[in-house]
């Protein structure tokens, strides 16, 4: 699954969760931004501040489908790896190959 397809799938799964979840809108907005970076060349400088991976780890354990969190981790990692300056990657600990 390519990143755009993965982003769309994750957004559709997150949108199914109750709107009352405090983190739901934040995650959807961050995912929209990730899509804009890929599709429209939006300024990638905010990628450093993504929290979708942290939210996935904290909030999605045991949520169905089980691969949802892994898709979110992959989206954040791949976008940051592809678009952030090397110094930022070192600071985030993503400067080495997986």
Instruction: Give the model's pLDDT for residue 91.
Output: 87
What is the Cα–Cα distance from 57 to 72, expressed in whole angstroms?
Answer: 9
Instruction: Give the model's pLDDT for residue 97.
Output: 65
User: Which tens digits make up the pLDDT trace of 44-89?
Assistant: 999 999 999 999 999 988 888 889 999 999 999 999 999 998 898 8
pTM: 0.89
What is the Cα–Cα distance from 24 to 12, expressed in whole angstroms?
Answer: 12
Tokens, residue 15: 């949108």
Tokens, residue 21: 């979840």
Q: 92 pLDDT band (50/70/90 cuts)? A: confident
- The closest alpha carbon to 27, from 65, 63, 66, 76, belongs to 76
Tokens, residue 65: 């489908």
């Amino acid at each position: 699954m390519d990143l755009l397809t993965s982003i769309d799938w994750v957004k559709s799964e997150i949108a199914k969760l109750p709107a009352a979840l405090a983190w739901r809108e934040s995650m959807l907005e961050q995912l929209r931004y990730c899509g804009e970076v890929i599709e429209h060349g939006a300024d990638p400088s905010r990628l450093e501040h993504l929290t979708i991976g942290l939210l996935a780890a904290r909030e999605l354990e045991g949520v169905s489908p089980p691969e949802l969190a892994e898709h979110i981790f992959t989206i954040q990692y791949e976008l940051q790896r592809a678009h952030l300056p090397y110094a930022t990657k070192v600071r985030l600990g993503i400067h080495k190959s997986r």
